[in-house]
Amino acid sequence: MHFAQIYVPGLAHCSYVLGSGDKCVVVDPARKIKPYLDKAESFGMDIVGILETHLHADFVSGHMDLAEQTGAEIYAPEIAHCSFSHTALKDGDEFTIGSLRFKLLETPGHTPDCAVYVVTDLERGEEPVMVFSGDTLLVGDVGRPDLFPDQEEALAEKLFDSLKKLKDLPDHVEVYPAHGMGSLCGRSLSAKLWSTIGIEKKQNYALKRTDLAAFKEDLLTDMPPAPDHFARCSEINRQGPEQLAHLEPVKPLDVAQVQEGIDLGHVVLDTRSYLAFAAGHIPNSYSISLEGNLATFAGWVIPPEKDILLVLEQERDLPRVADALYSVGLDHISGYLQGGIVQWINAGAKTVHVEPVTVDEIQSYIDSNETVVLDNRAKSEWKDGQISGTTLAPTPDVRHRHTEWDVEKPIVTFCNTSNRSMTAASILKQKGFKKVMNFLGGTTAWKAAGYEIEPREEA
Amino acid sequence: MHFAQIYVPGLAHCSYVLGSGDKCVVVDPARKIKPYLDKAESFGMDIVGILETHLHADFVSGHMDLAEQTGAEIYAPEIAHCSFSHTALKDGDEFTIGSLRFKLLETPGHTPDCAVYVVTDLERGEEPVMVFSGDTLLVGDVGRPDLFPDQEEALAEKLFDSLKKLKDLPDHVEVYPAHGMGSLCGRSLSAKLWSTIGIEKKQNYALKRTDLAAFKEDLLTDMPPAPDHFARCSEINRQGPEQLAHLEPVKPLDVAQVQEGIDLGHVVLDTRSYLAFAAGHIPNSYSISLEGNLATFAGWVIPPEKDILLVLEQERDLPRVADALYSVGLDHISGYLQGGIVQWINAGAKTVHVEPVTVDEIQSYIDSNETVVLDNRAKSEWKDGQISGTTLAPTPDVRHRHTEWDVEKPIVTFCNTSNRSMTAASILKQKGFKKVMNFLGGTTAWKAAGYEIEPREEA
Amino acid sequence: MHFAQIYVPGLAHCSYVLGSGDKCVVVDPARKIKPYLDKAESFGMDIVGILETHLHADFVSGHMDLAEQTGAEIYAPEIAHCSFSHTALKDGDEFTIGSLRFKLLETPGHTPDCAVYVVTDLERGEEPVMVFSGDTLLVGDVGRPDLFPDQEEALAEKLFDSLKKLKDLPDHVEVYPAHGMGSLCGRSLSAKLWSTIGIEKKQNYALKRTDLAAFKEDLLTDMPPAPDHFARCSEINRQGPEQLAHLEPVKPLDVAQVQEGIDLGHVVLDTRSYLAFAAGHIPNSYSISLEGNLATFAGWVIPPEKDILLVLEQERDLPRVADALYSVGLDHISGYLQGGIVQWINAGAKTVHVEPVTVDEIQSYIDSNETVVLDNRAKSEWKDGQISGTTLAPTPDVRHRHTEWDVEKPIVTFCNTSNRSMTAASILKQKGFKKVMNFLGGTTAWKAAGYEIEPREEA
Amino acid sequence: MHFAQIYVPGLAHCSYVLGSGDKCVVVDPARKIKPYLDKAESFGMDIVGILETHLHADFVSGHMDLAEQTGAEIYAPEIAHCSFSHTALKDGDEFTIGSLRFKLLETPGHTPDCAVYVVTDLERGEEPVMVFSGDTLLVGDVGRPDLFPDQEEALAEKLFDSLKKLKDLPDHVEVYPAHGMGSLCGRSLSAKLWSTIGIEKKQNYALKRTDLAAFKEDLLTDMPPAPDHFARCSEINRQGPEQLAHLEPVKPLDVAQVQEGIDLGHVVLDTRSYLAFAAGHIPNSYSISLEGNLATFAGWVIPPEKDILLVLEQERDLPRVADALYSVGLDHISGYLQGGIVQWINAGAKTVHVEPVTVDEIQSYIDSNETVVLDNRAKSEWKDGQISGTTLAPTPDVRHRHTEWDVEKPIVTFCNTSNRSMTAASILKQKGFKKVMNFLGGTTAWKAAGYEIEPREEA
């Protein structure tokens, strides 16, 4: 048996290549499929199967590209009702590739279409040895059941039952989930990217619950918000996404072409560092730095129907930026500004900026009645420790909550670095705020400078 | 907990980085330490501990380089009697780094100094979650107890007892060994590079044995030969190897300088493809292709006291070749032939060659009484299938067994590709054989061409 | 004025980018146009003109690709009668780009369509400062007038007159030719890649001739042979070659697909080192090593109507190999053998080989009546020094002259390295010679080993 | 004859490799010598001579490194009085390497120690074919004689005489100077990097002057300022600079170590883009962007006796930054801030910023009596066109002229991009200016936006 986990950092996504003899399968592939092709080649194996555990909500999957390029069969749970050509499996269905026997167990809960694959290596024995647990069982966590607000109670109950199927597996079975720490598909995922049934039974809060009510209380309280693209990506994955290989290469554009795109209603996405963005950017740009969590935040805040114009730190960033956007289904990139922002500035075109506020200056803004100071971190981080006198406003919420504050008043944003708060600042500028400032380094700088931060229950 | 396995392909060696908070340890580092430094940096952690499970026999370890560059403490079993500065641990000794508790268990058997580290992640619970099992417990195998021929009975018995300690761990405990498939530290290691106690208890032939006699029979029969460097590397590791950072860079040499080196008794190691070697090489060179198993075969057949002159396919191969030699303690590389073999040829210096024999010609040589045809594969491969009329002579054995054949008679070598058989051919030429030939593609070509190959018990 | 010479080593071809203000022209572009685009970008200039001095015979030009990608106008001599859209210039015609004035002078002789461009930089003065002399005036040589055998007398006379036009330019004028040392467009080109009119008038044998008869004697005696593709490329350039950007990427092929191609009549081109080729290659392959003069020899000996299957040393050689073939109009590359020759061998497919002969063995073959020893160098090299007892047979001639020798007799090839002689050896094997050998290192090894070599007048 | 010009963009410096047979010389090497070693290897030649035309003022030369690594002899004018081991040549002295004859002509003027080398290629003829004209004769210009203010009259007169020696060379002789456009060793150097004697005699303003008084008027009026390092580098070159190969690698430093260095009086050099610098930087840093003219401005404004701490855009910039500093003799780099400015910010350490002013805002600052607006371009650029209402203050002058302005008043800097003006802004902040702003894009943006700019004679 040859086995490899392929981890996609921007999405905290785990995918797998597993094979025996000269054949292998890929489990839950990311949209960029080259790593799977390379790994299979290094194993000396052909990819003959593509296993989807469920319709991923947080990224667009590479099953169509991979099937097209390898001729492999796609396997998916029947309950996912996929539109593309595939082998639909029901609870208990089995198939064998080489010496490997795969058995699907339906495990609805995280979403209605979730399943897991239990694997037996017939070369070594009849006992199951691993389970691809998708978003059902994660290391230290389970897949959140609240993505469909009107079904969350029902899904939480289903999840409770589905986890029993996993608890019934022997302790020695290895657990390979679809996500690790950083994913919004759960709340407290471990940085360790795999585990065993026995460890999780003993150490995972959700598996330890035997009482349904308490389980539901755990699972439906204080969940992090679900990004906007979660519903969108599921549906794209069900239909079968456009193949990456069919997309046009992203074109270089000169200043006039970028201006033309803006006039046509395209949005500008600026992926430079937050400092460079602060000092000068195209009006109405979105700041989402490549150094931050580009894929998730772009999927979350960029309107998916819009064409995207890119401003890059340097041209060589393009492949990474495009991959991040494609990974969340933002396929319409109309081009990038050739020569970067310096071309725009030198062309005499208009720029705007965000004023930096340093750690030794922020207290005076907090103390001022004239200034609003927004904490753009997630609620969970905020609960763990706050800067007194600031207002919780997670970055994505700023899109809707901006009316709470006066556009005429100075407004300062911060997070734990400055990536998310610069995204928030860029949104506030789009909304007409006259004086937008950013607290450089946010809570990280605040704590390092020795100022006080305390966990609190209420805002 | 952050965790990564770092796999070193040439040695089929597994090493690990494991950390919690801002500190991590490295387990069983290879001599080239950059991957550990990089991984720790990507984790945002400092390396504070270096854990040696035992004195590795098959490679030179990077513990001295790593300790020097990071200031980390080296931990090793007391029973290994290491000469360098370290924390010596006895059976049951524990220490804690961040939230991770490590407990050493003495597990002599593979070698007298073997131990394992059992890890508990106090952040998640009190149960042990993983064991760094060194060469004691491998996936599908155990560390061979026969490396010290005069102690093999005693060591096999100790191993039998040591394994009980591992069987006493809970089924859910993850098993991280120091080697995978391809290592000569065992006989039947899996390509899958980790496992669990539960799986191994059920599926590992050695753990399933409850009878000591049968266990010994299993473990002391038909072991693959142990390369010559195994004893050497253990001792180097005990002393603490020379730091790689202190070695001189390998120098380019012109034809005259190479000739001078040869005259002084240096050996020539030619790492080009077997085809290029066949057509022309410096007399008395060793052929060990970079495409084959360079580290192991160089460690095995190159006399360790000799300075080494390199002939490379291309200059950019140098770092990979040097790393492979250093990994088995061959530190004395006096230089490489600049411009490669073409410079040697164009200088009018003497070359010799090995004649190719193709798959459609080999039968006539087998049938001829005038020609000896040697199968240079390992005995285990030979047992799985032989070409009738050929003589088993594993490559390293050719160094001693060459007197069995007549130097005046044509002699043909083959293996399963042509890498090892070209090494054998190069040794035969050193020994004075007049007409040395190589069967291109060996058993792989033979089988692909549809000829018969059969497993047999006796030669 | 910004100016750069772009040199293409495989073709010994010189091309140029020259600009002023924000506009530039490219003179005599090679087919691979990226270097021109990059250089113009580094100058901060747009390419607005493409100047062809004549219909190049030795390579396929990039004028169509460059015009398509930049929108630049193509300028060419009217006497070239080009089919593609262009500005046709007559003797004395001028045009100005930025501060640069270009004047075409018709200079037939090397070919009937040759011209040069005289450049004045109006920013600095009214005197001409440089001339793009195409293949009319080279450094230390002039363009050979013998490529059209039936017109060679007439062309030599025209060349004599055309050179007068160049001699009439002031001494200070810089001379930028289309070729340097190694080109077969002349006989004795300098390695220095530009010159001045004054230097050439004093030091160039052809410009020093004032007597037509002597000039013709010089120019029509002992010219090197013209490769087969010279006539072909001129015509391709006249029509306007297929754009490189429109060609399909070269596909990886497995052993079965390569065999299929061979069965369909495709030719196999093996670009590995001559040593690797010698030890084993696909029957009927052409050996033309990437280390040798691949573009010219492929253009010369590969039948242009055939599809080409590639055997590469390593996959990363593909772009260089493909560029070389495209540069001489060999556009039909049906694929390359994935995994290289080892895949072929391991598949049990048939290989053949060429026997190496070393410098200490060659004399015995020369002395033997049974063996033919062929010198595959050019006649000019042979005149400069021969190995006694060998037969001059330049590599391309072997295609036709093979009937002179007995296929049953052993035959040895050599040149000054072993690249060309391995090409010759590969052709002899195609022609049915039973035992083909190659003298490794040829005359270079011979001389280095201290053997005698003497210039002689007659074969 | 093999010949190559090696151009060093940051210094607008031209150096050369010239050889014949198997030997070559390097003329006026830059401090980073790898390009010469590579070029000589590509020529198949050994470097046997290093020719210095004079003691370069604008960069530190690589003669010592090159001599050490190749064993080549250094040739220099006797009038330079060099301290290191070399062959000192007097006016008219000749030496021959291969077929190349070199003749030194003393040509004081630019500096007292200037010389040129006239080259004859004996293989082709007895006429001189090229001259390495150092800083005596440049393309379109001559070396400025005003670097030693107390000798400028005398040096201008010597230069007048020295140029006669060059005018005496034949028109056809190629001219290879030590500098091109962008160098401050002259005033109006061409972007074309070589020429001929004939062209220069006809088109070079200085060679056309036959009247000494007019020549002096030309040469001593309106010269650009000479950077501070010019005197320093000459002396370093005379002594023989420290070998680059002997310098320690530049170390990564954490925030505490950088703070420690600052406390010890080290200076901080920030080479990030001007935008990133504007938004946040370490107090008292120098901003000199790697995108601008780092070598010259660092040599000019960084106090040479200080240790330097680097803040980089990204770690991979380090080699380019270090090379630039070494090229002007700034060898004392104590380290770089690992992780860049984000580490500094996140550590809660103090940062300051420069406020951006956009092209649509600048006029209001110019109109305000409260604000000073400084034009930091060179006087020559300023003469070519000014923005009305601004004050000429070339960046290096700001170091001394800052007392002219009130530290309490807002001050805006600009140049033709924003690189030099951000250097000026960083100096003003060091001098205690309270509110420093930068006009993004400067005159380039101003002109592109359609505003008026006019050449004027007086400020």
Quote the ipTM score: 0.92
Q: Report the alpha-carbon distance of residue C91 to residue A88 in Å, rounded.
A: 76
Cβ pair D174:C196 closer than 8 A: yes
Cβ pair D173:C196 closer than 8 A: yes
Query: Alpha-carbon torsion D411, D416, D419, D423, what sign?
Result: negative
Q: Report the alpha-carbon distance of residue C132 to residue C433 in Å, rounded.
A: 48
| Tens of pLDDT, residues C291-338 | 999 999 999 999 999 999 999 999 999 999 999 999 999 999 999 999
Contact D262, D308 (CB under 8 A): no
Cβ–Cβ contacts within 10 Å for residue B91, how many?
14
Read off the amino acid at residue D354.
V
Coil vs helix vs strand at C61 = strand
**What letter would DSSP give residue B151?**
G
- Give me the phi and psi of B412, to 5 degrees please: -115, 135
Chain A nearest C-alpha distance from D358 (Å): 7
Instruction: Find chain D residues with C-beta within 8 A of C124's C-beta.
Output: 140, 190, 199, 203
* Residue C441: closest CA among C319, C339, C326, C359: C359
To test the contact with chain C by mutation, choose from D172, D189, D193 the residue with the greatest count of C C-beta atoms within 10 A, namely D172
- Please give the angle made by the CA atoms of B143, B145 and B149, to the nearest 5 degrees: 145
Contacts of A64 (CB under 8 A, 6+ apart): A84, A240, A241, A242, A243
- For the packed helices C212-220 and C152-167, what is the interaxial angle rounded to 10 degrees? 120
Coil vs helix vs strand at B39 = helix
* Residue A309: closest CA among A290, A327, A328, A325: A325
- Least CB–CB distance from A445: residue in D345, D417, D441: D345
Assign residue D8 a region: left if phi > 0, alpha if psi is -120 to 50, beta otherwise? Answer: beta
Q: Give partners of D (≥3 CB pairs < 8 A).
A: A, C
Q: Report the alpha-carbon distance of residue C184 to residue C187 in Å, rounded.
A: 7
Instruction: Find chain B residues with C-beta within 8 A of A201's C-beta.
Output: 172
Query: Burial, D375: exposed, middle or buried (Cβ in 10 Å; 0-12, 13-18, 19+)?
Result: buried
Q: Looking at the predicted structure, is the pLDDT value of residue C53 above 60?
A: yes
**What letter would DSSP give residue C388?**
T
Pair of tokens at residue B453:
């190959």
Predicted model pTM: 0.90
Q: Looking at the predicted structure, is the pLDDT value of residue D21 above 50?
A: yes
Instruction: Enumerate the β-bridge partners of residue A333.
Output: A308
Over its length of 459 residues, how does chain B's per-residue pLDDT go in tens digits? Answer: 999 999 998 899 999 999 999 999 999 999 999 999 999 999 999 999 999 999 999 999 999 999 999 999 999 999 999 999 999 999 999 999 999 999 999 999 999 999 999 999 999 999 999 999 999 999 999 999 999 889 999 999 999 999 999 999 999 999 999 999 989 888 889 999 999 999 999 999 999 999 999 999 999 988 888 899 998 999 999 999 999 988 989 999 999 999 999 999 999 999 999 999 999 999 999 999 999 999 999 999 999 999 999 999 999 999 999 999 999 999 999 999 999 999 999 999 999 999 999 999 999 999 998 999 999 999 989 998 999 999 999 999 999 999 999 999 999 999 999 999 999 999 999 999 999 999 999 999 999 999 988 776 554
The percent of residues in chain C predicted with pLDDT above 70, rounded, is: 99
D387 touches chain A (CB under 8 A): no
Q: Report the alpha-carbon distance of residue A218 to residue A206 in Å, rounded.
A: 8
C192 touches chain D (CB under 8 A): yes
Instruction: Find chain C residues with C-beta within 8 A of B279's C-beta.
Output: 274-276, 278-279, 356, 440
Chain A nearest C-alpha distance from D105 (Å): 46
Q: Which residue has tokens 């001259």?
A: D131
Cβ pair A140:B124 closer than 8 A: yes
Size of interface A-B (CB pairs under 8 A): 75
To test the contact with chain D by mutation, choose from C192, C200, C204, C205 the residue with the greatest count of D C-beta atoms within 10 A, namely C192
Cβ pair B192:A140 closer than 8 A: no
Q: Report the alpha-carbon distance of residue C253 to residue C434 in Å, rounded.
A: 30
* Residue C109: closest CA among C131, C136, C89: C136
Low-confidence stretches of chain A (pLDDT beneath 70): 456-459
Q: What spatial distance separates the first Cα and last Cα of chain A, rounded to whole Å?
A: 53
Q: Give partners of A (≥3 CB pairs < 8 A).
A: B, D
Which residues 298-357 on chain A approach chain D with CB closer than 8 angstroms?
341-342, 345-353, 355-356
C128 touches chain B (CB under 8 A): no
Q: Give partners of C (≥3 CB pairs < 8 A).
A: B, D
Cβ pair B199:A1 closer than 8 A: no
Read off the amino acid at residue C158.
K
The percent of residues in chain D predicted with pLDDT above 90, rounded, is: 92
Helices (H), C269-359: 274-279, 294-301, 318-327, 341-346
Q: Compare all CA atoms of chain D with the CA of A447 and give the residue at the minimum distance.
A: D348
| Tens of pLDDT, residues A198-212 | 999 999 999 999 999
Q: Report the alpha-carbon distance of residue B93 to residue C350 in Å, rounded.
A: 62
Cβ–Cβ contacts within 10 Å for residue B408, how many?
11
When pLDDT is averaged across residues D152-157 and rounded to a whole number, the result is: 95
Instruction: Find chain B residues with C-beta within 8 A of C346's C-beta.
Output: 417, 441, 444-445, 448
Coil vs helix vs strand at A258 = helix
Look at strands D23-27 and D13-20 and give their pairing: antiparallel
C125 touches chain D (CB under 8 A): yes
Contacts of A348 (CB under 8 A, 6+ apart): D359, D441, D444, D445, D446, D447, D448, D449, D450
A208 touches chain B (CB under 8 A): no
- Least CB–CB distance from A127: residue in B172, B173, B202: B202
Chain A nearest C-alpha distance from B162 (Å): 21
Torsion from C-alpha of D152, D153, D158, D164, nearest 10 degrees? 110
Q: Report the alpha-carbon distance of residue C103 to residue B413 in Å, rounded.
A: 70
Q: Looking at the predicted structure, is the pLDDT value of residue C139 above 70?
A: yes
Contact A58, A64 (CB under 8 A): no
Give the CB-side neighbour count of residue A207, counting CA atoms within 13 A: 24
Residue C455's pLDDT is: 73
Helices (H), A314-431: 318-327, 341-346, 362-367, 379-384, 395-401, 419-430
Cβ pair B351:C347 closer than 8 A: no
Contact D15, D188 (CB under 8 A): no
Confidence grade of residue C459 (pLDDT, cut at 50, 70, 90):
very low
Residue B222's pLDDT is: 82
Q: How many residues does chain A have?
A: 459
Distance of CA D276 to the CA centre of its chain: 25
Helices (H), A168-225: 197-203, 205-208, 212-220
Residue D221's pLDDT is: 87
**Out of C444-458, D39-53, D87-101, least confident range:** C444-458
A196 touches chain B (CB under 8 A): yes
Cβ pair B278:C279 closer than 8 A: yes
